[in-house]
């Protein structure tokens, strides 16, 4: 994937835009089976790999409904432009209080247009819900958020995913990851991008140590190939779940450093060493890496890790 990755209209923390090239290279030519994602999130990986058949699941009902509405034609690029132009003008005129008015409206009666408005005008594009399932992210404090150029950018993103979905056999489904992984067949390919164990997460239905253990057990016993995204380490700590669940001759661990832009300020956005874990070999992933990663790479060699 030499061209820039396609960006979906929904923003999520931990979005894999910067990793889709590596994921695509690892996946290679997909068979006639399905591409299965138990945690599809923003949909960025499927959008870029564009499998013919896919089962895209998430427990976040709003994400799934958003893409179902695009797939059915209920949510169109023209409708998005009109809605964001109208609502953006109100936000500019009324200010911050209007964001909270839309948030309350959405929480009382969820719909995909309000979901998109909130997702693109909340603080740092964070997607967070409280225990009652209510969206509770504050305003980004930019009343001018929906400038014409920004609206056009979102509209183009909606157009792109709409075109891809229209020529693909994709099923969007609200499902627990246990259900979606259990549905995988021998010719399928599973890509799992769960909430990151041991780090702060704002997953729609939470994420526990038991969830992490169940996921490892399900993936380990799959009849097909899988790729798991998780965090390996940062300058402060290491993900102990990687060593606990995946350091084995049956699995391969590749690492890559990059930033997640969810900190309130640039100095709070620290580099993360991402781990891509597979149950199949991938020699091409062993390549050059920045000097900053070299000490980590040497330390990891005993566990058969490689950098990409």
Q: How far apart are CA 139 and CA 147, in angstroms?
A: 16
Q: Is residue 67 part of a domain?
A: no
* Residue that is written with structure tokens 């247009």 in the block: 113
Residue 289 has pLDDT above 50, yes or no: no
Q: Residue 288's pLDDT is what?
A: 35
Q: Residue 241's pLDDT is what?
A: 85
Q: How far apart are CA 233 and CA 126, in angstroms?
A: 22
Q: Which residues pair with 172 in a beta bridge?
A: 56
Tokens, residue 21: 């090239």
Q: Is residue 6 part of a domain?
A: no
Contact indicator for 44, 17 with CB cutoff of 8 Å: yes
Q: Residue 294's pLDDT is what?
A: 32
Name the residue with higher pLDDT: 21 or 233.
21
Same domain assignment for residues 192 and 132? no
Q: How far apart are CA 43 and CA 9, in angstroms?
A: 9
DSSP 234: E
Same domain assignment for residues 194 and 300? yes
Same domain assignment for residues 21 and 50? yes
Same domain assignment for residues 144 and 184? no
CATH of the domain at 111: 1.10.1020.10
pLDDT in tens, 69-111: 999 999 999 999 999 999 999 999 999 999 999 999 999 999 9
**What average pLDDT does the structure give for the chain?**
87
Percent share of the chain, pLDDT over 90 = 67
Contact indicator for 200, 207 with CB cutoff of 8 Å: no
Residue 307 has pLDDT above 80, yes or no: no
Residues 6+ apart with CB under 8 A from 257: 271, 272, 273, 274, 289, 290, 292, 293
Contact indicator for 57, 180 with CB cutoff of 8 Å: yes
Same domain assignment for residues 132 and 194? no
Q: Is residue 11 part of a domain?
A: no
Cα dist. 137→68, 91, 123, 128, 204 in Å? 24, 16, 6, 6, 13
Q: Residue 237's pLDDT is what?
A: 85
DSSP 16: -
DSSP 38: S
Q: Residue 270's pLDDT is what?
A: 64
Q: Is residue 223 part of a domain?
A: yes
Same domain assignment for residues 282 and 240? yes
Quote the strand ranges of the chain, DSSP E: 35-37, 53-58, 169-174, 189-192, 225-234, 252-259, 271-278, 305-307
Residue 160 has pLDDT above 90, yes or no: yes
Q: Is residue 200 part of a domain?
A: yes
Same domain assignment for residues 137 and 252? no
Same domain assignment for residues 108 and 181? no
Q: Is residue 68 part of a domain?
A: no
Report the candidate in 258, 266, 213, 208 with the shortest Cα–Cα distance to residue 232.
Answer: 258
Of the given ranges (54-58, 112-116, 141-145, 304-308), which has the lowest mean pLDDT? 304-308
Q: Model's pTM, two decimal places? A: 0.87
pLDDT in tens, 214-243: 999 999 999 999 999 998 888 888 888 888
> Of the candidates 134, 162, 190, which is a domain's last residue?
162
Residue 56 has pLDDT above 70, yes or no: yes
Residue 205 has pLDDT above 80, yes or no: no
Q: Is residue 2 part of a domain?
A: no
> Of the candidates 139, 162, 185, which is a domain's last residue?
162
Residue 292 has pLDDT above 50, yes or no: no
| pLDDT band for position 209 (cuts 50, 70, 90) | confident
| pLDDT band for position 2 (cuts 50, 70, 90) | low
Same domain assignment for residues 179 and 302? yes
Same domain assignment for residues 184 and 288? yes
Same domain assignment for residues 90 and 222? no
Q: Is residue 298 part of a domain?
A: yes
Report the candidate in 308, 307, 282 with the shortest Cα–Cα distance to residue 225.
Answer: 282
Q: How far apart are CA 115 and CA 16, in angstroms?
A: 21
Q: Residue 256's pLDDT is what?
A: 86
Which residues span the domain enclosing 81? 73-162
CATH of the domain at 179: 3.40.50.150
> Of the candidates 132, 162, 192, which is a domain's last residue?
162
Residue 299 has pLDDT above 60, yes or no: no
Same domain assignment for residues 25 and 102? no
Q: Residue 269's pLDDT is what?
A: 54
Number of domains in the chain: 2
SS (H, E, C) 123-191: HHHCCCECCCCCECCCECCCCCCCCHHHHHHHHHHHHHHHHHHHCCEEEEEECCHHHHHHCCCCCCEEE
How many Å is the maximal CA-CA distance in the chain? 60
Q: How far apart are CA 33 and CA 25, in angstroms?
A: 18
């Amino acid at each position: 994937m030499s061209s820039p990755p396609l960006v979906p209209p929904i923003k999520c923390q931990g979005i894999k835009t910067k990793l889709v090239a590596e994921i695509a290279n690892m996946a290679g030519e997909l068979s006639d089976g399905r591409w299965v994602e138990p945690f599809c999130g923003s949909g960025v990986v499927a959008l870029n790999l564009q499998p013919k058949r896919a089962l895209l699941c998430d427990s976040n009902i709003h994400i799934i409904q958003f893409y179902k509405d695009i797939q059915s034609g209920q949510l169109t690029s023209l409708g998005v432009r009109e809605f964001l132009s109208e609502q953006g003008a109100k936000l500019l005129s009324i200010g911050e209080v209007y964001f909270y008015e839309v948030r309350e409206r959405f929480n009382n009666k969820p719909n995909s247009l309000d979901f998109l408005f909130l997702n693109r005008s909340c603080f740092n594009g964070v997607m967070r819900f409280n225990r009652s399932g209510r969206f509770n992210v504050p305003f980004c404090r930019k009343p001018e958020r929906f400038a014409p150029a920004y609206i056009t950018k979102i509209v183009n993103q909606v157009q792109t995913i709409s075109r891809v979905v229209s020529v693909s056999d994709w099923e969007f489904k609200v499902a627990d990851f246990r259900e979606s992984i259990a549905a995988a067949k021998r010719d399928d390919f599973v890509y799992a991008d769960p909430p990151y164990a041991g780090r702060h997460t704002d997953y729609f239905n939470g994420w526990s140590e038991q969830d992490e253990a169940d996921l490892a057990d399900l993936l380990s016993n799959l009849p097909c190939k899988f790729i798991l995204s998780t965090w390996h380490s940062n300058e402060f700590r290491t993900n102990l779940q990687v060593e606990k669940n995946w350091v084995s001759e049956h699995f391969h661990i590749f690492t890559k450093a990059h930033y997640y832009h969810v900190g309130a300020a640039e100095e709070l956005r620290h580099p993360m060493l991402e781990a891509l874990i597979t149950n199949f070999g991938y020699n091409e992933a062993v390549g050059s890496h920045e000097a900053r990663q070299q000490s980590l790479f040497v330390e990891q060699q005993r566990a058969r890790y490689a950098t990409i």
